A and B are shown apart, each in its own frame.
Chain A
Amino acid sequence: MSKNQNFEEAWKNAFENAEVTPSPKVWKEIENQLPSQSLLGKVISLGTQYYVAAAVAASVSVVSLGTYFALKTDNTTQILPNAVVNSTIDQKNILPSDNQNNNENTSTILAEEKSSKNSSSSLVQSDKENFSNSTENKEIDAKKTISDNIQSNLIAKNTKKNTAFDDKNTSSKNLPPKNGLLKENLASNDDTKILDDKEDNLLEEETALIKSDLFEKASRKSLIDKIINNQVFITSTPTHVFPNIKNANKGWKLFGGVAFGGVTFEPNFKDRRNYNDVLSNLMRQPGDSAIGVNNTFNQGENVVSFLRSVKNSQDFLPQINSSYSYGINLGTYLSDKLNVQLGIHRQHFSVSSYSYAVIWDLQNIEIIHLDFTNYDNLEKHQFKMESVKPYKIIYEYDFVAVPVLVGYEIMDRKKISVEANLGLSTQIFLKNKIYSKEIPANVIRHDRYDDRKVFENQHIQAVIGCNISYDLWKNCAINISPSYQKAITDFTVKSSNFSSRPAQMGVSFGVRYDLD
């Protein structure tokens, strides 16, 4: 047997017949899922009588552009566990029992969107420096002084450590990773130990400062800030435009709509698991810009460097992608003031999120933003580091929306009418597609449909809003429709371990022209 086969055979034998008992909750979760499996895939079928009305008729083109603002509440905001530099991970169950620093083996720092009400210590990404106000600049300047001091110490330390690394025969003199899989108990001299302790404290301090900076910025309420922090999305849909049908006094009135717009809703995923895997977290939520750092060996200084680079990054800018929807509505008055509308719309949403991650399992390696396939500079080091440039992940979702709305006329003046609307919309999920683009090259990396079955085949949204209509001339009116909509059933399947109830509030604008 060749040496290579011996190596592979050894690994194969090591894991053959291996057994690890899963926790009892796994079976409980399976049990919970089993009865509901047969229900998945069913489509709510509505009465077909209204669909028959899709006969070719004089249709009206309505072009509307809507703006929806995501609302976050405490219940739905989040999400990921508090992620700090020294967070505990479950790898302690895997690692050797003699590892005494289980709770510091891996640190995962996640930057995510947050609301001000969420006071967890999770980081939030944002496009930082250019949009900060003067007050913040002053704070940042003050913090920079500390950072600079730390930086110079780090450079000195890195120089010392990298030199040690080049010596392959060096063992005990190497400064060890603080924690990690390959923990070392080194007997360093007192001076080095004191320096290390001091540096570690400074590192922790700076990490905390940067984290608080990011958190503070993400907590700002202003619209501009929300856009900057990717918490606001521009979207469009005619589903909840509530076109004025006050002229539909006789029978049913059919009208069609087309809408174009930008990025869509924020699902506010609530992750029921404790995610420690930064890569999975980066994909956890459409429209979410995330920064992930997976530090197996708890390299404090590298974490700080990374955070600093992220903080200064210009990469996290809000994006408006093309979304569109089109469809038809059918409505009629039930009484003088009460009307009912139902419709069917094909919706296409596009959401972007950015991911920017650095992953390393090395010690004392300065963060270098390499292309992820470039390992040439790292040959001298014992382990390999992966670092990737920002990627823009684009999610596209296709739905068929079937809204059923009841409208009540509040006011009807000569040219202006106001109507309140309330209803439900069944959103039937068709497909979603994920592709990524490397920034700044804008090269499409992958283009495929997502078969992960994360999303429910249908979910129901409750809609409440009003429609303000202004007649321009006899058959033409412009509409403004503020509305609030929230999913009352889950948007994602239970087995995906996500739960989400998308909520949005926004204003739609439209023009309506009646042909008959």
Chain B
Amino acid sequence: MQDDSKLIEGCIKGDRKMQRQLYEHFAPRMMAVSLRYAKSRLEAEDILQEAFIKVFNKIETFRKESSLYHWIKTIVINTALSHQRSKLYQFPMGDVKETDFSMNEDFSLADFHFNELLGMIQTLPAGCQMVFNLYAIEGYKHHEIAEMLEISEGTSKSQFSRARVLLQEMLEKKAKREVNYE
């Protein structure tokens, strides 16, 4: 792939070939990101499509303060959050009861296929899914998440706590079933 700066330059000029190249280079990783925020592959592709349109429309505003990858990823995440925001209108997140979270010391996801893990995240309630992605995987702090999602920091924490419990339960059940098969 050509140098990022040449890609960016070409995209600013509207060079379709460059745009395609940029897309093909980043789309697979961004698809994996949007899948984590979506409930289905179709929805993920919609998010991806909308995000890349924004990327090409805003490419001239890219300041190179971060890498192009992170810039595009930020747009993908923001697009995904916009998609989910309509759900939050109807089903606003509230504080949920925090439960104790106990975990084995030797916790590992190595035995699980990527698609299985993705499916688990997708089955989380919408609020939990978003908060979990932003906190655990993207690395945002709770106060940052609260600002992004217009919720309280406490809600962010409780939603994440719930997500953790749900995922842990799913993992344990899956692992137990695998043992039964053997």
Q: A-side interface residues toward B, CB under 8 Å?
A: 3-4, 6-8, 10-15, 17-23, 25-27, 29-31, 33-34, 37, 89-91, 93-97, 171-172, 181-182, 184-185, 273-277, 279-280, 282-283, 296, 355, 357, 359, 361, 372-373, 375-376, 382-384, 386, 388, 391, 393, 434-436, 445-446, 448, 451-452, 495, 497
Complex interface: chain B residues within 8 A of A372 (CB): 91, 94
B92 beta carbon closer than 8 Å to chain A = yes
Given the contacts A94-B119, A274-B42, A3 and B31 also touching, CB distance less than 8 Å: no
Q: How long is the Cα–Cα vector from A244 to B144 in the complex, in angstroms? A: 59
Instruction: State whether A376 touches B36 (Cβ < 8 A).
Output: no
Identify the closest chain B residue to A284 (Cβ).
B86
When distances are taken between beta carbons in the complex, the residues of chain B under 8 Å from A37 are 53, 56-57
Q: Report whether A26 and B49 are in contact in the complex, using a CB–CB cutoff of 8 Å.
A: yes
Chain A residues with CB below 8 A from B176, complex form: 171
Q: Does B87 contact A (CB under 8 A)?
A: yes
Q: How far is the CB of B144 from chain A (nearest CB, A)?
A: 15
Determine whether B120 belongs to the interface, using a CB cutoff of 8 Å to chain A.
yes
CB pair A30 B41 closer than 8 Å:
no
Known: A20-B35, A277-B40, A375-B97. A6 touches B90 (CB 8 A): no
Contact between B49 and A14 (Cβ–Cβ < 8 Å)? no
Measured CB to CB, the nearest residue on chain B to A8 is B136
In the assembled complex, the Cα of A383 lies from the Cα of B164 at a distance in Å of: 12
Q: How far is the CA of A171 from the CA of B181 in the complex (A)?
A: 12
How many residue pairs link A and B with beta carbons under 8 A? The number is 199
Q: What residues on B are CB-neighbors of A4 within 8 Å? A: 101, 103, 164
Is there contact, CB below 8 Å, between B49 and A30?
yes
* Complex CA distance for A29 and B52, rounded to whole angstroms: 10
Known: A94-B41, A95-B115, A182-B173. A384 touches B86 (CB 8 A): no
B40 in complex: contacting residue of A7, A89, A182, CB < 8 Å = A89
Interface string of B24-48 (1 = CB under 8 A from A): 1001110110011001111111101
Hey, which chain B residues are within 8 Å of A96, CB to CB?
113, 115-116, 119
- The answer to whether B170 and A182 have CB atoms under 8 Å apart is yes
Query: Of B27, B43, B56, B96, which one neighbours A277 at CB under 8 angstroms?
Result: B43
Contact status of A436 and B86, CB under 8 A, knowing A30-B23, A94-B41, A274-B42: no
Q: 10 interchain pairs (CB within 8 A)?
A: A4-B101, A11-B136, A21-B27, A23-B45, A27-B20, A181-B120, A283-B86, A357-B90, A373-B94, A383-B169
- List B residues at the A interface (Cβ < 8 Å): 14, 16, 19-20, 23-24, 27-29, 31-32, 35-36, 39-46, 48-50, 52-53, 56-57, 82-83, 85-92, 94-97, 101, 103, 105, 107-109, 112-120, 122-123, 125-126, 132, 135-137, 139, 162, 164, 166-170, 173-174, 176-177, 180-181
Q: A10-B109, A37-B57 are in contact. List 15 more A-B contacts (CB 8 A).
A: A4-B101, A7-B103, A8-B136, A11-B117, A11-B137, A12-B136, A12-B139, A14-B109, A17-B29, A18-B114, A21-B28, A22-B48, A95-B119, A280-B86, A373-B94
> Is B166 within 8 A of A384, CB to CB?
yes
Tell me if B49 and A3 are in contact (CB < 8 A): no
Could you say which of A15, A31, A89, A375 has the most chain B C-beta atoms within 10 Å of its C-beta? A15
Residues of chain B contacted by A296 (CB below 8 angstroms): 123
Whether B114 contacts A90 by the Cβ 8 Å rule is no
Among A7, A276, A279, which residue has its beta carbon within 8 angstroms of that of B126?
A: A279
CA distance A507 to B23 in the complex (A): 51
CB within 8 Å for A280 and B49 given contacts A7-B107, A19-B29? no
Docked complex Cα distance between A302 and B162 (Å): 24
Decide: A15 and B137 in contact? CB cutoff 8 A: yes
Given A279-B91, A279-B126, answer yes or no on A29-B49 (Cβ-Cβ < 8 Å).
yes
Q: Which residues of B contact A172 (CB under 8 A)?
A: 180
* Contact status of A497 and B31, CB under 8 A, knowing A7-B107, A382-B169: no
Q: Given that A7-B164, A96-B113, A282-B90 are known contacts, is A31 also in contact with B137, CB under 8 Å in the complex? A: no
Are A10 and B57 within 8 A (Cβ)? Answer: no
Partner of B125, one of A18, A273, A355, A384: A384
Contacts of B177 in A (CB 8 A): 171, 182, 184
User: In the bound complex, do residue B139 and residue A91 qualify as a contact, i.e. CB atoms below 8 Å apart?
Assistant: no
Q: Shortest CB–CB separation between residue B58 and chain A, in angstroms?
A: 10
A276 touches B97 (CB 8 A): no
Instruction: Enumerate the 9 nearest inter-chain pairs by beta-carbon distance, A residue then B residue, closest first.
Output: A19-B28, A18-B32, A373-B94, A8-B136, A279-B87, A90-B41, A20-B31, A22-B31, A90-B40
- Contacts of B40 on A, CB cut-off 8 Å? 89-91, 94, 276-277
